[in-house]
Amino acid sequence: MSGIHFFSKHRTWEDWFGMLLGALIVVSPWFPFSSHDVMDSERSTMILNTFVIGMLVFGLAQLEYVALQRWEEVGEIALGLWLAASPFILGYAGDDMLRAWHVALGGIVVLLGALQLWQDWRLSDQELANHPQ
């Protein structure tokens, strides 16, 4: 029963985990087990997309750590959904490992953002401002 209470309040480890996810997303195109079967033009688009998404996830997690707002969690959810859909939209779904990693990392970002949004949904603006650092 105490496990439920552990997830009922927004904690700073969640923000640190979000920053770690952002860093992992940025370096994911260079994971050693990726097959790199993507063409050069598709690869440069994929790398740019992955870099931007990773930096935005990292930045939103930093903002949550400093000044908690609900729109930051909504932004994380949107970025996670975009990362999970990117292999199919941008055409690099043929790289099975990279597709699996981007879908998995995007799903984790969505789950983390949804958890944080659920935790902060009933808090007033004053309570959000008092988020511990």
pLDDT digit string (tens) for 53-87? 999 999 999 888 887 777 888 999 999 999 999 99
Calculate the alpha carbon distances from 22 to 49, 56, 76 in Å.
13, 7, 10
Taking a C-beta distance cutoff of 8 angstroms, is the pair 93, 99 a contact? yes
Encode pLDDT of 7-42 as tens digits: 556 677 888 999 999 999 999 988 766 555 555 666
Taking the whole predicted model, whether its pTM rises above 0.85 is answered as no
- pLDDT above 60: residue 45: yes
Domain residue limits, the chain: 45-127
- pLDDT, residue 122, reads 72
- Interval 86-94 mean pLDDT: 87
Residue 106 CA neighbour count, 13 Å, CB half: 19
The answer to whether the beta carbons of residues 58 and 16 sit under 8 Å apart is no
Instruction: Specify whether the CB–CB gap between 76 and 53 falls below 8 A.
Output: no
Q: pLDDT tens digit string along 104-115?
A: 999 999 999 999
Amino acid in position 8: S
Count of Cβ atoms closer than 10 Å to residue 123 Cβ: 16
